[in-house]
Chain A
Amino acid sequence: MFTKITRPLISNGSLPLSFVYRPLSISSVFFKNTPSKTDDKSLVEKKTDEKILRVEDSLKDLSSIKWRTEHNGKRLWPHDQWPERDLVNFPPYKLREAPNAVRWYCVPESWFKFFYDKTGVTGPYMFFYGLIIYGFSKEYIVLWYDFTEYLILAAAVITVVKKVGPMVGDIFRGWHQEEVDRYTSVVNNSKAMAGKMLHGYEESLERAKSVGKLGDARKDIINMALETTYRERMRTMYEAVKRRLDYQVALQNARKDFERTNMINWITSEVKKSITAKQEQDSLQACLNQLRQMASSSR
Protein backbone atom coordinates (compact mmCIF):
# COMPACT_ATOMS: atom_id res chain seq x y z
CA MET A 1 0.00 0.00 0.00
CA PHE A 2 2.80 2.30 0.94
CA THR A 3 4.82 1.43 -2.17
CA LYS A 4 1.81 1.97 -4.44
CA ILE A 5 1.78 5.56 -3.27
CA THR A 6 5.50 6.20 -3.02
CA ARG A 7 6.78 4.52 -6.20
CA PRO A 8 5.39 7.15 -8.61
CA LEU A 9 6.75 9.88 -6.42
CA ILE A 10 10.13 8.24 -6.36
CA SER A 11 10.23 7.78 -10.13
CA ASN A 12 9.03 11.35 -10.55
CA GLY A 13 11.82 12.61 -8.40
CA SER A 14 9.65 14.33 -5.83
CA LEU A 15 10.83 11.84 -3.22
CA PRO A 16 14.60 11.45 -3.58
CA LEU A 17 16.23 8.42 -2.03
CA SER A 18 19.75 7.48 -1.15
CA PHE A 19 19.24 3.83 -2.16
CA VAL A 20 17.60 2.07 -5.10
CA TYR A 21 14.38 0.10 -4.79
CA ARG A 22 14.37 -3.51 -6.03
CA PRO A 23 12.58 -3.53 -9.42
CA LEU A 24 9.14 -5.16 -9.55
CA SER A 25 9.54 -7.04 -12.84
CA ILE A 26 12.18 -8.05 -15.40
CA SER A 27 10.94 -5.38 -17.78
CA SER A 28 13.24 -3.01 -15.97
CA VAL A 29 16.12 -5.05 -17.39
CA PHE A 30 15.00 -4.18 -20.90
CA PHE A 31 14.08 -0.60 -20.15
CA LYS A 32 17.31 0.12 -18.32
CA ASN A 33 18.80 2.04 -21.21
CA THR A 34 15.84 4.38 -21.76
CA PRO A 35 16.73 8.06 -21.36
CA SER A 36 16.50 9.64 -17.96
CA LYS A 37 13.57 11.81 -17.01
CA THR A 38 13.54 15.44 -18.05
CA ASP A 39 12.49 18.43 -16.08
CA ASP A 40 8.84 19.19 -16.87
CA LYS A 41 9.20 22.81 -15.94
CA SER A 42 11.91 23.52 -18.53
CA LEU A 43 10.74 25.47 -21.54
CA VAL A 44 13.77 24.54 -23.61
CA GLU A 45 13.14 22.10 -26.52
CA LYS A 46 13.97 18.51 -25.66
CA LYS A 47 17.18 17.39 -27.32
CA THR A 48 17.09 14.07 -29.21
CA ASP A 49 18.86 11.29 -27.34
CA GLU A 50 21.85 9.78 -29.09
CA LYS A 51 21.19 6.15 -28.14
CA ILE A 52 17.65 5.88 -29.50
CA LEU A 53 17.62 5.83 -33.29
CA ARG A 54 14.49 7.61 -34.34
CA VAL A 55 12.79 7.76 -37.72
CA GLU A 56 14.44 11.08 -38.50
CA ASP A 57 17.87 9.51 -38.20
CA SER A 58 17.08 6.84 -40.81
CA LEU A 59 15.80 9.56 -43.09
CA LYS A 60 19.02 11.40 -42.46
CA ASP A 61 20.98 8.35 -43.66
CA LEU A 62 18.85 7.99 -46.74
CA SER A 63 19.37 11.61 -47.63
CA SER A 64 23.05 10.84 -48.20
CA ILE A 65 22.05 8.81 -51.25
CA LYS A 66 22.29 11.23 -54.13
CA TRP A 67 20.79 10.54 -57.51
CA ARG A 68 23.35 10.83 -60.27
CA THR A 69 22.44 13.05 -63.16
CA GLU A 70 25.24 12.32 -65.64
CA HIS A 71 27.46 9.45 -66.68
CA ASN A 72 29.97 9.49 -69.56
CA GLY A 73 28.37 12.67 -70.85
CA LYS A 74 24.92 11.05 -71.00
CA ARG A 75 21.96 12.26 -68.99
CA LEU A 76 20.84 9.78 -66.30
CA TRP A 77 17.18 9.71 -65.34
CA PRO A 78 15.80 8.59 -61.95
CA HIS A 79 14.45 5.37 -63.45
CA ASP A 80 17.77 4.52 -65.13
CA GLN A 81 20.53 5.02 -62.56
CA TRP A 82 22.65 1.95 -63.34
CA PRO A 83 24.48 2.43 -66.66
CA GLU A 84 27.34 0.15 -65.62
CA ARG A 85 25.03 -2.85 -65.13
CA ASP A 86 26.31 -5.79 -67.14
CA LEU A 87 23.19 -7.68 -68.22
CA VAL A 88 25.03 -9.92 -70.69
CA ASN A 89 27.47 -11.66 -68.38
CA PHE A 90 25.35 -11.29 -65.22
CA PRO A 91 21.72 -11.67 -66.30
CA PRO A 92 18.95 -11.18 -63.76
CA TYR A 93 17.74 -14.10 -61.72
CA LYS A 94 15.09 -16.38 -63.18
CA LEU A 95 13.39 -19.27 -61.44
CA ARG A 96 14.19 -22.49 -63.27
CA GLU A 97 11.40 -24.65 -64.61
CA ALA A 98 12.83 -28.12 -63.96
CA PRO A 99 15.84 -29.63 -62.19
CA ASN A 100 18.91 -30.82 -64.09
CA ALA A 101 18.44 -34.06 -65.98
CA VAL A 102 19.82 -37.15 -64.30
CA ARG A 103 20.45 -40.77 -65.33
CA TRP A 104 20.02 -43.70 -62.98
CA TYR A 105 18.57 -41.21 -60.42
CA CYS A 106 22.02 -40.00 -59.34
CA VAL A 107 24.37 -39.32 -62.29
CA PRO A 108 23.94 -35.86 -63.93
CA GLU A 109 23.66 -35.52 -67.70
CA SER A 110 26.53 -32.99 -67.84
CA TRP A 111 28.97 -35.82 -67.11
CA PHE A 112 27.59 -37.83 -70.05
CA LYS A 113 27.90 -34.79 -72.34
CA PHE A 114 31.46 -34.17 -71.15
CA PHE A 115 32.56 -37.72 -72.03
CA TYR A 116 30.64 -37.87 -75.31
CA ASP A 117 33.46 -36.34 -77.39
CA LYS A 118 36.11 -38.65 -75.98
CA THR A 119 34.31 -41.95 -75.48
CA GLY A 120 31.00 -41.69 -77.31
CA VAL A 121 27.61 -42.56 -75.93
CA THR A 122 28.59 -45.71 -73.99
CA GLY A 123 31.60 -44.18 -72.20
CA PRO A 124 30.09 -43.48 -68.76
CA TYR A 125 28.07 -46.70 -68.87
CA MET A 126 31.23 -48.74 -69.52
CA PHE A 127 33.00 -46.78 -66.80
CA PHE A 128 30.45 -47.65 -64.12
CA TYR A 129 30.02 -51.23 -65.25
CA GLY A 130 33.79 -51.55 -65.33
CA LEU A 131 33.95 -50.17 -61.77
CA ILE A 132 31.49 -52.81 -60.62
CA ILE A 133 33.41 -55.58 -62.39
CA TYR A 134 36.64 -54.23 -60.88
CA GLY A 135 35.00 -54.39 -57.47
CA PHE A 136 33.96 -58.02 -58.04
CA SER A 137 37.31 -59.04 -59.43
CA LYS A 138 39.40 -57.45 -56.68
CA GLU A 139 36.82 -58.58 -54.09
CA TYR A 140 35.98 -55.13 -52.88
CA ILE A 141 32.38 -56.30 -53.38
CA VAL A 142 32.41 -59.65 -51.58
CA LEU A 143 29.88 -62.16 -52.95
CA TRP A 144 28.70 -63.48 -49.63
CA TYR A 145 25.28 -64.95 -48.84
CA ASP A 146 23.63 -61.58 -48.24
CA PHE A 147 24.33 -60.50 -51.83
CA THR A 148 20.98 -61.92 -53.03
CA GLU A 149 19.20 -59.71 -50.53
CA TYR A 150 20.92 -56.64 -51.90
CA LEU A 151 20.06 -57.61 -55.48
CA ILE A 152 16.40 -58.15 -54.66
CA LEU A 153 16.33 -54.96 -52.60
CA ALA A 154 17.74 -52.99 -55.53
CA ALA A 155 15.19 -54.49 -57.92
CA ALA A 156 12.31 -53.84 -55.50
CA VAL A 157 13.36 -50.26 -54.80
CA ILE A 158 13.77 -49.51 -58.49
CA THR A 159 10.35 -50.92 -59.41
CA VAL A 160 8.60 -49.11 -56.54
CA VAL A 161 10.26 -45.78 -57.36
CA LYS A 162 9.46 -46.11 -61.07
CA LYS A 163 5.81 -46.92 -60.41
CA VAL A 164 5.01 -44.77 -57.38
CA GLY A 165 7.48 -41.88 -57.74
CA PRO A 166 5.70 -39.68 -60.29
CA MET A 167 2.34 -40.13 -58.55
CA VAL A 168 3.74 -39.12 -55.17
CA GLY A 169 5.49 -36.15 -56.71
CA ASP A 170 2.26 -34.99 -58.36
CA ILE A 171 0.34 -35.36 -55.09
CA PHE A 172 2.87 -33.27 -53.16
CA ARG A 173 3.01 -30.70 -55.91
CA GLY A 174 -0.78 -30.55 -55.88
CA TRP A 175 -0.83 -29.85 -52.14
CA HIS A 176 1.78 -27.16 -52.57
CA GLN A 177 -0.08 -25.63 -55.50
CA GLU A 178 -3.28 -25.56 -53.44
CA GLU A 179 -1.52 -23.58 -50.74
CA VAL A 180 -0.10 -21.20 -53.34
CA ASP A 181 -3.53 -20.83 -54.95
CA ARG A 182 -4.96 -19.80 -51.59
CA TYR A 183 -2.79 -16.71 -51.88
CA THR A 184 -2.95 -16.04 -55.61
CA SER A 185 -6.66 -16.75 -55.94
CA VAL A 186 -7.42 -13.65 -53.92
CA VAL A 187 -5.96 -11.34 -56.53
CA ASN A 188 -7.17 -13.44 -59.47
CA ASN A 189 -10.71 -13.57 -58.13
CA SER A 190 -10.80 -9.83 -57.54
CA LYS A 191 -9.52 -9.33 -61.09
CA ALA A 192 -12.26 -11.62 -62.41
CA MET A 193 -14.89 -9.78 -60.38
CA ALA A 194 -13.61 -6.47 -61.64
CA GLY A 195 -13.80 -7.81 -65.20
CA LYS A 196 -17.39 -8.95 -64.69
CA MET A 197 -18.36 -5.62 -63.25
CA LEU A 198 -16.76 -3.82 -66.17
CA HIS A 199 -18.66 -6.09 -68.54
CA GLY A 200 -21.87 -5.16 -66.74
CA TYR A 201 -21.02 -1.48 -67.02
CA GLU A 202 -20.34 -1.87 -70.74
CA GLU A 203 -23.68 -3.62 -71.16
CA SER A 204 -25.49 -0.83 -69.35
CA LEU A 205 -23.74 1.73 -71.55
CA GLU A 206 -24.95 -0.13 -74.63
CA ARG A 207 -28.42 -0.20 -73.17
CA ALA A 208 -28.16 3.52 -72.63
CA LYS A 209 -27.41 3.95 -76.33
CA SER A 210 -30.58 2.04 -77.26
CA VAL A 211 -32.86 4.17 -75.09
CA GLY A 212 -33.39 6.56 -78.02
CA LYS A 213 -34.45 3.69 -80.23
CA LEU A 214 -36.78 2.51 -77.52
CA GLY A 215 -38.43 5.93 -77.39
CA ASP A 216 -38.88 5.95 -81.15
CA ALA A 217 -40.38 2.49 -81.00
CA ARG A 218 -42.83 3.60 -78.33
CA LYS A 219 -43.72 6.64 -80.42
CA ASP A 220 -44.34 4.39 -83.40
CA ILE A 221 -46.55 2.12 -81.34
CA ILE A 222 -48.58 5.06 -80.10
CA ASN A 223 -48.92 6.45 -83.60
CA MET A 224 -50.10 3.09 -84.87
CA ALA A 225 -52.66 2.92 -82.07
CA LEU A 226 -53.86 6.37 -82.96
CA GLU A 227 -54.20 5.35 -86.62
CA THR A 228 -56.09 2.25 -85.60
CA THR A 229 -58.56 4.15 -83.44
CA TYR A 230 -58.99 6.80 -86.10
CA ARG A 231 -59.80 4.18 -88.67
CA GLU A 232 -62.16 2.36 -86.34
CA ARG A 233 -64.03 5.52 -85.55
CA MET A 234 -64.15 6.42 -89.21
CA ARG A 235 -65.57 3.00 -89.93
CA THR A 236 -68.21 3.27 -87.23
CA MET A 237 -69.15 6.67 -88.53
CA TYR A 238 -69.45 5.36 -92.04
CA GLU A 239 -71.52 2.43 -90.89
CA ALA A 240 -73.85 4.68 -88.90
CA VAL A 241 -74.39 7.02 -91.85
CA LYS A 242 -74.87 4.08 -94.17
CA ARG A 243 -77.42 2.55 -91.82
CA ARG A 244 -79.39 5.73 -91.74
CA LEU A 245 -79.30 6.17 -95.53
CA ASP A 246 -80.19 2.50 -96.05
CA TYR A 247 -83.10 3.00 -93.77
CA GLN A 248 -84.36 5.89 -95.87
CA VAL A 249 -83.91 3.91 -99.06
CA ALA A 250 -85.64 0.90 -97.61
CA LEU A 251 -88.41 3.14 -96.39
CA GLN A 252 -88.97 4.58 -99.88
CA ASN A 253 -88.86 1.16 -101.46
CA ALA A 254 -91.30 -0.16 -98.98
CA ARG A 255 -93.61 2.74 -99.63
CA LYS A 256 -93.43 2.20 -103.40
CA ASP A 257 -93.88 -1.49 -103.04
CA PHE A 258 -96.89 -1.05 -100.88
CA GLU A 259 -98.39 1.50 -103.24
CA ARG A 260 -97.84 -0.79 -106.25
CA THR A 261 -99.28 -3.87 -104.61
CA ASN A 262 -102.13 -1.96 -103.21
CA MET A 263 -102.94 -0.43 -106.61
CA ILE A 264 -102.68 -3.77 -108.35
CA ASN A 265 -104.91 -5.52 -105.89
CA TRP A 266 -107.43 -2.73 -105.97
CA ILE A 267 -107.53 -2.64 -109.73
CA THR A 268 -107.90 -6.37 -110.05
CA SER A 269 -110.52 -6.57 -107.36
CA GLU A 270 -112.51 -3.74 -108.98
CA VAL A 271 -112.29 -5.34 -112.37
CA LYS A 272 -113.39 -8.66 -110.99
CA LYS A 273 -116.26 -6.96 -109.25
CA SER A 274 -117.34 -5.21 -112.45
CA ILE A 275 -117.56 -8.42 -114.41
CA THR A 276 -121.42 -9.29 -114.67
CA ALA A 277 -122.86 -12.79 -115.35
CA LYS A 278 -124.09 -11.88 -118.90
CA GLN A 279 -120.57 -10.66 -119.85
CA GLU A 280 -119.16 -13.84 -118.58
CA GLN A 281 -121.53 -16.02 -120.64
CA ASP A 282 -121.02 -13.93 -123.74
CA SER A 283 -117.27 -14.22 -123.42
CA LEU A 284 -117.53 -17.97 -122.88
CA GLN A 285 -119.78 -18.35 -126.08
CA ALA A 286 -117.33 -16.29 -128.07
CA CYS A 287 -114.45 -18.49 -126.94
CA LEU A 288 -116.38 -21.63 -127.85
CA ASN A 289 -117.21 -20.28 -131.32
CA GLN A 290 -113.56 -19.46 -131.82
CA LEU A 291 -112.60 -22.93 -130.84
CA ARG A 292 -115.11 -24.49 -133.26
CA GLN A 293 -113.77 -22.30 -135.97
CA MET A 294 -110.24 -23.31 -135.24
CA ALA A 295 -111.21 -26.95 -135.15
CA SER A 296 -113.00 -26.82 -138.45
CA SER A 297 -110.17 -24.85 -140.10
CA SER A 298 -107.45 -27.14 -138.87
CA ARG A 299 -109.24 -30.32 -139.98
Chain B
Amino acid sequence: MTDAWYSKTNETIIPGNPDRIKAKWDPLQYLNLAQYLKVFNEYPRDFNPRVHGPYCPWRYYGKRDLSFGDVKLADVPAWIARRDKTPMGVYQGGIRTFWKFYRAYMDNKKPNLIWYTQIFVVASLFNFIFYAIPDRKHYKWAKYH
Protein backbone atom coordinates (compact mmCIF):
# COMPACT_ATOMS: atom_id res chain seq x y z
CA MET B 1 0.00 0.00 0.00
CA THR B 2 2.13 2.88 1.25
CA ASP B 3 5.70 2.99 2.52
CA ALA B 4 5.11 5.75 5.01
CA TRP B 5 6.52 6.11 8.47
CA TYR B 6 3.47 4.41 9.95
CA SER B 7 2.75 1.74 7.34
CA LYS B 8 4.95 -0.51 5.23
CA THR B 9 4.44 -3.28 2.71
CA ASN B 10 5.02 -6.87 3.69
CA GLU B 11 8.23 -7.08 1.70
CA THR B 12 9.85 -4.28 3.58
CA ILE B 13 8.94 -5.49 7.06
CA ILE B 14 10.27 -9.04 6.55
CA PRO B 15 12.96 -9.31 9.23
CA GLY B 16 16.51 -9.37 7.94
CA ASN B 17 15.73 -7.21 4.92
CA PRO B 18 19.24 -5.85 4.23
CA ASP B 19 17.86 -2.75 2.54
CA ARG B 20 16.18 -1.65 5.76
CA ILE B 21 18.97 -2.55 8.15
CA LYS B 22 20.61 0.80 8.79
CA ALA B 23 22.77 -0.21 11.77
CA LYS B 24 26.43 -1.21 11.52
CA TRP B 25 28.33 -3.64 13.69
CA ASP B 26 31.25 -1.30 14.47
CA PRO B 27 31.10 2.48 14.96
CA LEU B 28 34.06 2.87 12.60
CA GLN B 29 31.99 1.53 9.72
CA TYR B 30 29.92 4.68 9.66
CA LEU B 31 32.90 6.54 8.26
CA ASN B 32 32.79 4.23 5.22
CA LEU B 33 36.54 4.39 4.63
CA ALA B 34 36.38 1.45 2.20
CA GLN B 35 35.28 3.83 -0.57
CA TYR B 36 38.65 5.60 -0.30
CA LEU B 37 40.66 2.38 0.09
CA LYS B 38 39.22 0.58 -2.93
CA VAL B 39 42.66 0.68 -4.57
CA PHE B 40 44.21 -1.30 -1.70
CA ASN B 41 41.24 -3.60 -1.16
CA GLU B 42 41.59 -5.59 -4.38
CA TYR B 43 43.15 -8.96 -5.15
CA PRO B 44 46.54 -9.04 -6.92
CA ARG B 45 46.32 -9.18 -10.69
CA ASP B 46 47.86 -12.65 -10.99
CA PHE B 47 45.38 -14.23 -8.60
CA ASN B 48 42.91 -16.62 -10.24
CA PRO B 49 40.59 -18.43 -7.81
CA ARG B 50 39.99 -21.22 -10.32
CA VAL B 51 43.70 -22.13 -10.27
CA HIS B 52 44.86 -20.93 -6.86
CA GLY B 53 41.74 -21.64 -4.79
CA PRO B 54 40.86 -19.40 -1.85
CA TYR B 55 43.01 -16.32 -1.47
CA CYS B 56 46.01 -16.63 0.89
CA PRO B 57 47.52 -13.20 1.57
CA TRP B 58 50.90 -14.65 2.52
CA ARG B 59 51.47 -16.23 -0.89
CA TYR B 60 52.97 -14.58 -3.97
CA TYR B 61 50.81 -15.40 -6.99
CA GLY B 62 53.15 -14.16 -9.72
CA LYS B 63 55.83 -16.03 -11.61
CA ARG B 64 57.98 -18.18 -9.33
CA ASP B 65 61.42 -16.71 -8.62
CA LEU B 66 64.40 -17.63 -6.41
CA SER B 67 64.36 -16.58 -2.80
CA PHE B 68 67.04 -14.22 -1.57
CA GLY B 69 68.91 -17.02 0.21
CA ASP B 70 69.29 -19.13 -2.95
CA VAL B 71 70.36 -16.38 -5.31
CA LYS B 72 74.10 -16.08 -6.01
CA LEU B 73 75.95 -12.88 -5.17
CA ALA B 74 76.67 -12.17 -8.84
CA ASP B 75 72.98 -12.36 -9.78
CA VAL B 76 71.77 -10.10 -6.96
CA PRO B 77 71.43 -6.92 -9.09
CA ALA B 78 69.54 -8.85 -11.77
CA TRP B 79 67.34 -10.35 -9.07
CA ILE B 80 66.61 -6.90 -7.66
CA ALA B 81 65.84 -5.64 -11.17
CA ARG B 82 63.24 -8.39 -11.57
CA ARG B 83 61.38 -7.32 -8.40
CA ASP B 84 58.20 -5.25 -8.60
CA LYS B 85 59.30 -1.86 -7.23
CA THR B 86 56.09 0.05 -7.88
CA PRO B 87 54.29 1.44 -4.79
CA MET B 88 51.58 -1.16 -5.19
CA GLY B 89 54.20 -3.92 -5.38
CA VAL B 90 55.99 -2.62 -2.31
CA TYR B 91 52.69 -2.37 -0.44
CA GLN B 92 51.73 -5.93 -1.41
CA GLY B 93 55.17 -7.17 -0.37
CA GLY B 94 54.76 -5.55 3.02
CA ILE B 95 51.31 -7.10 3.42
CA ARG B 96 52.73 -10.50 2.49
CA THR B 97 55.55 -10.09 5.02
CA PHE B 98 53.09 -9.29 7.79
CA TRP B 99 50.88 -12.26 6.92
CA LYS B 100 53.92 -14.56 6.83
CA PHE B 101 54.92 -13.34 10.29
CA TYR B 102 51.34 -13.82 11.49
CA ARG B 103 51.19 -17.35 10.08
CA ALA B 104 54.60 -18.25 11.50
CA TYR B 105 53.99 -17.13 15.07
CA MET B 106 50.30 -16.36 15.75
CA ASP B 107 48.15 -18.53 13.46
CA ASN B 108 48.59 -21.90 15.15
CA LYS B 109 47.16 -24.08 17.88
CA LYS B 110 49.83 -23.36 20.53
CA PRO B 111 50.70 -19.68 20.27
CA ASN B 112 53.23 -18.03 22.52
CA LEU B 113 54.68 -14.56 23.06
CA ILE B 114 57.79 -14.91 20.88
CA TRP B 115 56.23 -12.57 18.32
CA TYR B 116 56.04 -9.99 21.09
CA THR B 117 59.66 -10.55 22.11
CA GLN B 118 60.81 -10.29 18.50
CA ILE B 119 59.06 -6.96 18.03
CA PHE B 120 60.41 -5.86 21.42
CA VAL B 121 63.96 -6.84 20.43
CA VAL B 122 63.76 -5.08 17.07
CA ALA B 123 62.34 -1.96 18.66
CA SER B 124 65.01 -2.10 21.36
CA LEU B 125 67.75 -2.44 18.74
CA PHE B 126 66.34 0.49 16.78
CA ASN B 127 66.22 2.59 19.92
CA PHE B 128 69.72 1.48 20.96
CA ILE B 129 71.30 2.19 17.59
CA PHE B 130 69.63 5.53 16.86
CA TYR B 131 68.95 7.01 20.31
CA ALA B 132 70.96 5.29 23.06
CA ILE B 133 74.38 5.24 21.33
CA PRO B 134 74.29 8.96 20.54
CA ASP B 135 73.14 9.63 24.11
CA ARG B 136 76.05 7.61 25.54
CA LYS B 137 78.80 9.03 23.29
CA HIS B 138 79.41 11.53 26.10
CA TYR B 139 80.28 8.73 28.56
CA LYS B 140 82.89 6.91 26.44
CA TRP B 141 86.08 5.94 28.25
CA ALA B 142 88.32 6.35 25.20
CA LYS B 143 88.35 8.83 22.37
CA TYR B 144 89.89 6.62 19.64
CA HIS B 145 89.03 2.93 19.16
User: Are A and B physically bound partners?
Assistant: yes
Spell out A's residues near B (CB within 8 Å): 8, 11-12, 27-28, 30-31, 34-35, 37-38, 40, 52-54, 82, 84-87, 90, 92-93, 95-100, 102, 105-106, 108, 114, 137-140, 142-144, 165, 169, 173
Closest chain-B Cβ to A197's Cβ sits at a distance in Å of 33
* Residue contact A99 to B111, C-beta cutoff 8 Å: yes
- For the complex of A and B, 6 pairs with smallest distance between CB atoms: A96-B108, A142-B136, A106-B121, A100-B104, A99-B105, A139-B140
* B1 close to A (CB within 8 Å): yes
* Residue contact B52 to A52, C-beta cutoff 8 Å: no
* B38 close to A (CB within 8 Å): no
* Residue contact A85 to B145, C-beta cutoff 8 Å: no
Q: Mark B81-124, 1 if CB is under 8 A from A, else 0.
A: 00000000000000000000001111111111111011001000
* Residue contact B59 to A142, C-beta cutoff 8 Å: no
One of B3, B19, B140 near A142 (C-beta < 8 A): B140
Closest chain-B Cβ to A128's Cβ sits at a distance in Å of 12
Q: In the complex, what residues of B have CB within 8 A of residue A99's CB? A: 104-106, 108, 110-112, 114-115
* Residue contact B121 to A97, C-beta cutoff 8 Å: no
Q: In the complex, what residues of A have CB within 8 A of residue B103's CB? A: 96
* B2 close to A (CB within 8 Å): yes
B6: nearest chain-A partner, CB-CB: A8
The winner among A11, A139, A173 for most chain B CB atoms within 10 A is A139
Name the interface size band of chain B: 35 or more
* B78 close to A (CB within 8 Å): no
If the complex has contacts A11-B5, A139-B142, A143-B141, are A173 and B50 also in contact, measured as CB distance less than 8 A? no
* Residue contact B2 to A37, C-beta cutoff 8 Å: yes
Q: Mark B1-12, 1 if CB is under 8 A from A, else 0.
A: 111111000010
* Residue contact B53 to A142, C-beta cutoff 8 Å: no
Specify the main secondary structure of chain A where it touches its partner.
loop
Closest chain-A Cβ to B105's Cβ sits at a distance in Å of 5
* Residue contact A35 to B108, C-beta cutoff 8 Å: no
B14: nearest chain-A partner, CB-CB: A55
One of A12, A52, A140 near B19 (C-beta < 8 A): A52
Q: In the complex, what residues of A have CB within 8 A of residue B80's CB? A: none
* Residue contact B109 to A169, C-beta cutoff 8 Å: no
Selected A-B contacts with CB under 8 Å, 6 pairs: A35-B3, A95-B109, A97-B108, A105-B114, A142-B141, A144-B139
B residues 43-94 touching A (CB-CB < 8 Å)? 48, 50-54, 56, 59, 69
* Residue contact B3 to A37, C-beta cutoff 8 Å: yes
* Residue contact A97 to B109, C-beta cutoff 8 Å: yes
A11 to B18, CA, bound (A): 25
Q: Mark B131-145, 1 if CB is under 8 A from A, else 0.
A: 001001001111001
Q: In the complex, what residues of B have CB within 8 A of residue A12's CB? A: 2, 4
Q: In the complex, what residues of A have CB within 8 A of residue B6's CB? A: 8, 11
A33 to B112, CA, bound (A): 51
* Residue contact A40 to B114, C-beta cutoff 8 Å: no
